[in-house]
Amino acid sequence: MNAHSDCMTIIYNGKIVMENDGVIDKGTMVWQGERIVYAGHSEQFDRRKFEQGLSVVAIDAQGGWVLPGFIDVHVHGGNGRDFMEADAKAYDTITRYHGRHGTTGMLATTVTAPQEAISRVISAAAAYRSGGVQYAELVGVHLEGPFISPRWPGAQDPRHIVPPRLDWLEGWVSEFPELIKMLTLAPELDGSMAVIQWLSEHGIVPTCGHTDATYECILEAVGHGLRHAAHTYNAMKGLHHREPGTLGAVLSEDRISAEIIADGYHVHPACIRLLSRVKPDDRLILITDAIPASGLSDGSYTIAGLDVIVKDSVSRLKEGGNLAGCTLTMIEAFRFMVREVGLSVERVSRFASGNPARLLGLDAEMGSLATGKLANVLLLSPDLAMRNVWVRGRSISG
Pairing, β 35-41 against β 257-261: unpaired
Active site residue 289: yes
Please say whether the beta carbons of 69 and 391 come within 8 A: yes
Element (H, E) at 48: helix 47-50
Task: From 155, 391, 159, select the one nearest 289 (Cα to Cα).
Answer: 155
296: three-class secondary structure by DSSP: coil
Burial class (CB in 10 A: 0-12, 13-18, 19+), 102: buried
What are the phi and psi torsion angles at 221 (to 5°)?
-65, -40
Among candidate residues 82, 212, 263, 289, the one labeled active-site is 289
Q: What is the 3-state secondary structure (H, E, C) of 79-99?
A: CCEEHHHCCHHHHHHHHHHHH
DSSP state of 33: T
Peptide bond into 146 cis (omega under 30): yes
Catalytic residues: 289
